[in-house]
Amino acid sequence: MQTELSKKLGIEHAVFGFTPFPAVAAAISRAGGFGVLGAVRYAAPDELKRDLDWLDGHADGMPYGLDVVMPAKKVEGVTEADIEAMIPPEHRAFVQETLAKYGVPELAEGEASGWRITGWMEQVARSQLDVAFDYPIKLLANALGSPPADVIARAHEHDILVAALAGSARHARKHADAGIDVVVAQGYEAGGHTGEIASMVLTPEAVEAVDPLPVLAAGGIGSGQQVAAALALGAQGVWLGSVWLTTTEADMHSPAVTRKLLAAGSGDTVRSRALTGKPARQLRTEWTDAWDDPAGPGTLPMPLQGLLVAEAVSRIQKYEVEPLLGTPVGQIVGRMNEERSVQAVFDDLTRGFEKAIDRINKIAGR
């Protein structure tokens, strides 16, 4: 599964694996892919430094990257406290009423919320980059449009490729105009923030829009046959995220979430604004249903929604309140029905890829 881009980065397979877990990122790189560590959950630079130290020491010298979330335009002088003050009281009341309805216990006195949306704040992302540029990362990806111009320039000074996620050909062209190096065309089927165009349509549109820049296909990909299809559509690799959530290296901190993922079908996800304020595909739960109910107050725009629900999400996760418990995941969850190692996932991807290529060769009479 090699392409021009994979050869440029020195990896065996053109499989880019996004994950919030350093152990998974390292295992992806060791297996011949390209591990990309998600930085959004790191509120403190020291925490990111700790995990990059670990990742760098366990990737066996293979390349890896980092995924951050920062807006292209900077807003000066706005603090997290300023944003918190914008949250309407009726939305806070709705959160407390919903938690009370399901008997979700309070956090212990003095216990801070373990899940925060601070990683979406530009100043936090910039502090993450101050740490990251001290490491030999080979790719910097931004999940919220093109990074600011100075960030792109700084990455290029360190010989780091810059990638940005796109949900349409128009987005892809904007990324190309901004000077990024790789477009990740993320289809409707993908987990987390995603647009409304399916991968089969989006991938060739993005390839045509930014040619000759390389495009990675994302969304609904979890088999070698799907990797082959993505490359046939013109992509130079695939960007996989959801499939790693049920690997043995993933530290989900919740057996209940893992059980729900393994039991879910491809129709058990929903694009909801409940988590961050932007449409994000996730497991459908009674929590997402409550926020999507027209009788409720509705969700707030990013980043207000993320700040609003941060403590609630921490409580739901800590006490594993199953009716409300979910996680971002794509429609490929229907194939994620057993726990496997990262290496086992790669073995399955390569076998499926070979079968698909053999099938096409037979059709072509080769």
**Each residue's pLDDT tens digit, 28-71:** 999 999 999 999 888 789 999 999 999 999 999 999 999 998 86
Answer whether residue 188 shows pLDDT above 90. yes
Q: Is the pLDDT of residue 268 over 70?
A: yes
Residue 157 is predicted with a pLDDT of 97
- Predicted confidence (pLDDT) at residue 74 exceeds the cutoff of 60: no
Residue 10 pLDDT level (bands cut at 50, 70, 90): very high
**Amino acid (one-letter) located at 89:** P
- How much is the pLDDT for 40? 85
131-179 pLDDT, tens digit each: 999 999 999 999 888 999 999 999 999 999 999 999 999 999 999 999 9
What pLDDT, on the 0 to 100 scale, is given for residue 252?
Answer: 85
State the pLDDT at residue 191.
96
Dihedral pair phi/psi, residue 166, rounded to 5°: -135, 140
- Which band of pLDDT confidence, cut at 50, 70 and 90, is reported for residue 75? low
Cα–Cα distance, 298 to 251 (Å, whole number): 32
Average pLDDT over residues 206-222: 97
Q: How confident is the model at residue 78 (pLDDT cuts 50, 70, 90)?
A: low
103-124 pLDDT, tens digit each: 999 988 877 666 555 545 677 8
pLDDT class for 300, splitting at 50, 70, 90?
very high
CA distances from 358 to 10, 228, 363, 365 (A): 25, 11, 9, 10
**pLDDT level of residue 356 (50, 70, 90 thresholds):** very high
Provide the Cα torsion 124, 126, 129, 130; round to 10°.
Answer: -100
Q: What per-residue confidence (pLDDT) applies to 115?
A: 56
What's the mean per-residue pLDDT of the chain?
93
Q: Are 192 and 280 in contact (CB under 8 A)?
A: yes
How do residues 20-33 score in pLDDT, each as one tens digit? 999 999 999 999 99
* pLDDT for position 113: 66
The strand pairing partners of 174, in sequence order, are none
Please choose, from the candidates 195, 155, 175, the residue with its C-alpha nearest in 3D space to the C-alpha of residue 67: 155
